[in-house]
Amino acid sequence: MVNKLTWLFNIINIPLSYILNFFSGILGNSFAAAVFVFTIFINLAMIPLTIKGQKASVGQMRIKPKLDELKKKYGDDKQRYSQEMQKLYSEEKISMGGGCLPLLIRLPIMLSIYYLITQPLTYLMNVSSETIDKLANTLKLAEGSYTRELTIIDAVAKDNSLSTEIASKLESIDFSLFGLDLTQTPQFSINIFNDFSLLWLIPISAFAAQMFTSLISMRLQKKINPEAPNMGCMMYSMPIISLVIGFTVPAGVGFYWACSSLIGGLIQSGIQYYYGPQKMLANERAKEIVTIFENEKKYIDKRLADNSDK
């Protein structure tokens, strides 16, 4: 089952790995720089999907009153209600699954990026699976662990004799970020003052990035739609979860979370501002008024033309 899933994801992973390798090559073989630019590239490329999803959601909001009327009228007859609902969607030119499709496309891409970041031996250094499995067994790493490749890199960097092949390839890739080794896992300690490590800055950055974008998104949502429900609990829970998990995974994963939260969050906030529900609904209403006006004008012009012929 795992092999089948790996093969399925490789349909996306392999093409994206070429892009990651390209950025790594032009950025001095820096893993951190490649991840940062790659995250920007992917989020920008996915803007059309995000906008499409936003428009689909607004379309659903726009016809909700009509759907409520159909439910009142045909609620007891499920078959008739389903037929009338499909007819309404067709008349309004709204896809019933339009809001889900962008998410269904975006989700495997985001999972693929996670594979690329956590498996640099496979996708960035082109190390065979046999070599990786052999080293994983030597180091007694759990099979299927999403952190095992970064753990292997850390182990080989400390002891080159574990794998001369990987050791030689490590010479051409820099896994550090301002002196911080992204293959190591931050180890939290209650004794903060004595055991503090600079590597702690990675999960703290992931927490701060997500908190920052959550605050912006929440304030923007309240400005665009004052009646929106308060999501304060979600705003604090997600950054805290990132902080806690950030101390249990290699720093490279935490760095990607920080980049993804900051870049993705800012882009999403921009889209939310320019394509917010209230703005889009107002635009839709304005288009409807223009259409009504044009139809009325055509009708009046036709009546005037008919009267003039008489």
User: CA of 89: how far to CAs of 61, 64, 81, 220, in Å?
Assistant: 12, 11, 12, 30
CB 266 within 8 A of CB 214: no
Confidence class for position 225, pLDDT limits 50, 70, 90:
low
User: Quick one: angle between helices 251-274 and 47-62, nearest 10?
Assistant: 50
Q: Poorest-confidence range of 3-7, 67-71, 174-178?
A: 3-7
Mean pLDDT of 144-170: 84
Token pair belonging to 276 = 């917010």
Mean pLDDT of 125-141: 86
Q: Tell me which of 232 and 257 has the higher pLDDT.
A: 257
Q: Poorest-confidence range of 2-11, 192-201, 220-229?
A: 220-229
Residue 177: DSSP 8-state: E
Beta bridge partners, 174, equal 30
- C-beta neighbour count of 310 within 10 angstroms: 4
Token pair belonging to 155 = 């182990």
pLDDT in tens, 21-53: 889 889 988 889 988 998 898 888 888 877 777
Q: In the predicted model, is pLDDT for residue 124 greater than 80?
A: yes
Q: In the predicted model, is pLDDT for residue 1 greater than 50?
A: no
pLDDT in tens, 271-308: 777 766 666 666 666 666 666 667 777 767 676 666 66
Per-residue model confidence (pLDDT) at position 2: 46
Closest CA to 120 of 202, 35, 1: 35
User: CA of 185: how far to CAs of 147, 238, 251, 254, 275, in Å?
Assistant: 10, 20, 5, 9, 39
Extract the runs of DSSP E, i.e. beta strands, from 73-187. 176-177, 180-181
- Distance, CA of 99 to CA of 55 (rounded, Å): 8
Per-residue model confidence (pLDDT) at position 309: 59
pLDDT in tens, 46-95: 888 777 777 777 777 777 777 788 788 776 777 777 887 788 777 767 76
Q: In the predicted model, is pLDDT for residue 236 greater than 70?
A: yes
User: CA of 85: how far to CAs of 63, 76, 281, in Å?
Assistant: 10, 14, 20
User: CA of 252: how far to CAs of 45, 108, 155, in Å?
Assistant: 23, 20, 15
Closest CA to 181 of 154, 208, 146: 154
- Distance, CA of 253 to CA of 199 (rounded, Å): 12
Phi, psi for residue 146 in degrees, rounded to 5? -75, -5
pLDDT in tens, 240-257: 888 888 888 888 888 888
Percent over 90 (pLDDT), the chain: 2
Q: Tell me which of 150 and 232 has the higher pLDDT.
A: 150
CB 17 within 8 A of CB 124: yes
Residue type, 80: R
pLDDT in tens, 260-275: 888 888 887 777 777 6
CA-based max dimension of the chain: 102
Tell me, yes or no, if the pTM score tops 0.85: no
Q: Determine the 3-state secondary structure of 190 from DSSP.
A: coil
